[in-house]
Amino acid sequence: MYQSASNSYNNQPILKGLITSEKEKIHAQTLANSLRKKFRHFSRRFRREGVDCFRLYDWDSPDIRVVVDWCAGRLVVAEYERKQTGPRYLPEMAKAAAEALGVSGDKVYIKRRHTKIPDSPRYKKLNNRQERFKVRERDLWFWVNLSDFLDTGLFSDHRDTRVIISGLAKGKDFLNLFAYTGTFTCAAAAGGARTTTVDRSQTYIKWAKDNMLLNQLLNPRHVFIQSDVNKYLSRAYAQGKRFSLAFVDPPSFFKNEREGVSFDVNRDHPELIRAVLKLMLPGSDLFFSTNHQRFEPKLHTIAAREIIKLTPKTIPEDYRNRNVHNCWQIKV
């Protein structure tokens, strides 16, 4: 029995033009062969590095639009949903993945992703099982939850970016905006920074505190603020707060009809970055990242001492999709 984080196919009619059962079997066998090969390649090295979560299959074939992540002995199998695959396809891919790697069905989590929904999936709760467990990422530990949200609490594609942040953090005042579960806060704190963590979700502020506690880093040097980021930036500037290191990773889209607020990273990132730069001290570093697959940077409008595109250095080897995120270092 596989754990599903979406019921989007329930009660839908069988559609014409679905992938045939014969082709489904071919896809399953191709996926299984690839997973066995990739697991042999990655597992020993990541075990030596102390990395529990890594990507095994990254939409490596254009016909098999799934990603498969290893997470401390569990599997997350996600499909970028399309009509042609139908309701049976993803469970069959999950079954093939489980059998290929010897993972029991209760440790396989199915996720269906959409590419055209204008909102951030990290804030949508899908279940309430509260089944979380801790995983290691080199010298850090994080709580993950594979069942209740579309995202797990840990973006492993940024594990090398966290190393960069930690290496720059000693003696700095670090600002983490759109902080999610605070993994970058943990990296900066472990590197010796004082930190301020901002997210609009109380759920993720608590999760960030739990991650800090898990790493024995929680103390009064580290501040957690539940707030809309724009409101926080205005308030912090008026209060004279200043920072020497920052990480900004906004959602691709956000809309709050009740407050009349919307955000589109393609449209709004220059204004957001300029607002953050007002809080940055001379000589500081601001890291800006986005996972928007069709991001169109307008960084030429930003006044900074230097802007460096770091993306090739921040995407690990196990992520063959080199567009999984884009990342820049903005030197003030």
61 CB-side CA count, 13 A: 12
CA-based end-to-end distance of the chain: 52
19 and 84 housed in the same domain:
yes
Q: What is the pTM of this model?
A: 0.91
**What is the distance between the alpha carbons of residues 332 and 324, in angstroms, rounded to a whole number?**
26
141 and 49 housed in the same domain:
no
Instruction: Report the CATH number that the domain containing residue 310 is assigned in CATH.
Output: 3.40.50.150
Residue 8 has pLDDT above 90, yes or no: no
95 and 158 housed in the same domain:
no
163 and 15 housed in the same domain:
no
pLDDT band at 117 (very low <50, low <70, confident <90, very high): very low
**In sequence order, what are the beta bridge partners of 145?**
132
Q: Give domain status of residue 124, yes or no.
A: no
Hey, how many other C-beta atoms are within 10 angstroms of the C-beta on 299? 14
Residue 19 has pLDDT above 70, yes or no: yes
262 and 137 housed in the same domain:
yes
- The pLDDT tens digits for 139-183 are 999 999 999 989 999 999 999 999 999 999 999 999 999 999 999
- The pLDDT tens digits for 40-68 are 999 999 999 999 999 999 999 989 999 99
54 CB-side CA count, 13 A: 25
Q: Is 72 helix (H, G, I), strand (E, B) or coil?
A: coil
Q: Give domain status of residue 125, yes or no.
A: no
Residue type at 281?
L
Residue 10 has pLDDT above 90, yes or no: no
**Which structural domain, as residue segments, surrounds residue 214?**
132-146+154-331
Q: Give domain status of residue 281, yes or no.
A: yes
317 and 187 housed in the same domain:
yes
**In sequence order, what are the beta bridge partners of 329?**
287, 308
Which of 8-17, 45-54, 195-204 is predicted with the least confidence, judged by mean pLDDT? 8-17
Provide the pLDDT for residue 4: 67
Question: Which residue matches tokens 């992938």?
Answer: 19
Residue type at 247?
F
104 and 142 housed in the same domain:
no
- Segment 323-332 shows an average pLDDT of 97
H-run or E-run covering 135: strand 132-137
Residue 223 has pLDDT above 80, yes or no: yes
Provide the pLDDT for residue 75: 98
Residue 12 has pLDDT above 80, yes or no: no
- Segment 257-276 shows an average pLDDT of 90
Work out how many domains the chain is built from and give that number.
2
**What is the distance between the alpha carbons of residues 2 and 31, in angstroms, rounded to a whole number?**
17
Provide the pLDDT for residue 11: 33
162 and 107 housed in the same domain:
no
Residue 81 has pLDDT above 60, yes or no: yes
H-run or E-run covering 188: helix 183-190
- Do the bridges between strand 66-71 and strand 53-58 make them parallel or antiparallel, or are there none, so unpaired? antiparallel
Residue 270 has pLDDT above 80, yes or no: yes
Which of 154-163, 210-219, 260-269 is predicted with the least confidence, judged by mean pLDDT? 260-269
97 and 140 housed in the same domain:
no
Q: Give domain status of residue 123, yes or no.
A: no
Residue 331 has pLDDT above 60, yes or no: yes
